[in-house]
């Protein structure tokens, strides 16, 4: 008979089994883990809640999860777009087409893609609505007014990676097993790989499948409650997580973005011909500023927001309140003279850590000498 304060063996079947000392230690460690007594479904649900919570705590605006699987239809569409030359000078898009459409080729045993949104809208008016804007002033895309989002998002992704590793390492441990793979230690570099606008990942596709929005006619992701002023990042992981419901398309018959594009760059099937896109001409094209680029760019210095500003869902957009994306001095509709001065010694100090560094001050100054408005060619 059990005495007061002692456990009755009948209440704990584990006590009826004779185990070695090492086996008892392993059992004690297992009982100390959150997974003890959980079903696979409960473990997956708990880990899903944890990853989402840590993503928000790491500085992201929204998070959704999609089931990792190959996307043959998207692969065919992407290949057709590339074969037609619609990727322009973005040569990297023609590489790793198969990997872009199959997360299992990016992370062995991939189970989920974590899609992350980072809002960047501010309380500032649209560049074209500013008093005094016109032939003497230039457009800078809203996303480029503040810090380079690649750096901002990467810092937050590293924070998320560290938080997930610290939280799950004890239970994933040294014998983590990806589906169909051998037992191996959990490694964030291998099992929780993140990307922000680089690497073989179709962020917009996964974000739509994860319920963060739908791909509008202008090809950008649209959230029905917030519009389209947000960046995307993605994590491909071999950790099993619950997937969210994909977002339903709400464009309907609206063609506002298509009709507003000054160069006719928006194609059917939610694609863009980069060769006619102002953003591509002013950001991605390297080398001299040709007459063709000048004709496309007009009074756009870096990027273009015309299609986004035409989208009716952006009337719901709210300022994100993130200091990283507030306009830096001189980047909100700068004058042509001010931009040309950036090419002078020390004139570009305020561009440190800015997306505009990508184009180079010499090319920006050359675009600032462009006399005419954007027009279709």
Q: What is the reported pLDDT for 16?
A: 55
Gap between the Cα atoms of 149 and 353, Å rounded: 9
Tokens 């004709």 correspond to 295
pTM of the model as a whole? 0.87
| Distance between CA atoms of residues 8 and 4, nearest Å | 10
113 close to 106: Cβ distance less than 8 angstroms = no
pLDDT value at residue 375: 41
Supply the pLDDT for residue 323. Answer: 96
- For the record, the structure tokens of 241 come out as 């997580």
Collapse the DSSP code of 340 into the 3-class scheme (helix H, G, I; strand E, B; otherwise coil) and give the result.
helix
Give every CB contact of residue 347 below 8 A, 6+ residues apart in sequence: 341, 361
pLDDT tens per residue, range 162-198 = 999 999 888 887 667 655 566 778 888 889 999 998 8
**Residue among 165, 166, 167, 211 nearest 191 (CA):** 165
- Cα–Cα distance, 195 to 193 (Å, whole number): 7
pLDDT tens profile 27-58: 666 655 666 567 889 889 999 999 999 999 99
The low-confidence residues of the chain, meaning pLDDT below 70, are 1-19, 24-37, 128, 130-135, 174-175, 177-182, 371-377
Q: In DSSP terms, which residues pair with 62 in a beta bridge?
A: 117
Where in the sequence numbering do the catalytic residues fall?
A: 197
């Amino acid at each position: 008979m059990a005495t007061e304060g002692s456990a009755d063996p009948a209440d704990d079947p584990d006590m009826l089994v004779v185990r070695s000392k090492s086996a008892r230690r392993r059992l004690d460690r297992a009982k100390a883990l959150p997974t003890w007594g959980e079903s696979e479904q409960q473990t997956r649900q708990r880990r899903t809640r944890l990853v989402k919570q840590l993503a928000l705590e790491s500085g992201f605006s929204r998070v959704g999860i999609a089931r990792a699987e190959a996307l043959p239809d998207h692969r065919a569409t992407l290949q057709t777009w590339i074969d037609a030359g619609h990727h322009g000078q973005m040569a990297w898009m023609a590489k790793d087409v198969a990997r872009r459409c199959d997360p299992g080729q990016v992370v062995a045993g991939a189970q989920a893609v974590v899609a992350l949104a980072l809002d960047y809208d501010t309380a500032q008016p649209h560049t074209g609505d500013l008093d005094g804007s016109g032939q003497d002033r230039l457009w800078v895309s809203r996303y480029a007014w503040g810090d380079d989002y690649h750096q901002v998002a990467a810092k937050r992704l590293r924070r998320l990676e560290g938080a997930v590793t610290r939280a799950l390492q004890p239970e994933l441990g040294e014998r983590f097993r990806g589906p169909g793979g051998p037992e191996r230690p959990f490694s964030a570099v291998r099992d929780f790989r993140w990307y922000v606008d680089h690497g073989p990942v179709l962020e917009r596709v996964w974000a739509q499948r994860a319920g963060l929005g739908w791909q509008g006619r202008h090809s950008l992701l649209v959230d029905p409650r917030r519009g389209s002023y947000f960046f995307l990042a993605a994590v491909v992981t071999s950790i099993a997580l619950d997937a969210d419901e994909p977002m339903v398309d709400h464009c309907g018959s609206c063609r506002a973005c298509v009709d507003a594009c000054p160069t006719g760059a928006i194609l059917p099937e939610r694609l863009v011909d980069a060769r006619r896109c102002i953003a591509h001409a002013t950001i991605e094209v390297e080398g001299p500023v040709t007459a063709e680029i000048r004709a496309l760019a007009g009074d756009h210095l870096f990027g273009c927001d015309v299609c986004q500003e035409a989208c009716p869902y952006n009337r719901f957009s709210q300022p994100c309140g993130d200091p990283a994306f507030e306009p830096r001095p001189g980047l909100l509709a700068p004058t042509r003279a001010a931009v040309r001065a950036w090419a002078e010694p020390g004139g570009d100090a305020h561009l440190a850590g800015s997306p505009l560094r990508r184009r180079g001050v010499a090319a920006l100054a050359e675009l600032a000498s462009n006399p005419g408005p954007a027009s279709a060619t």
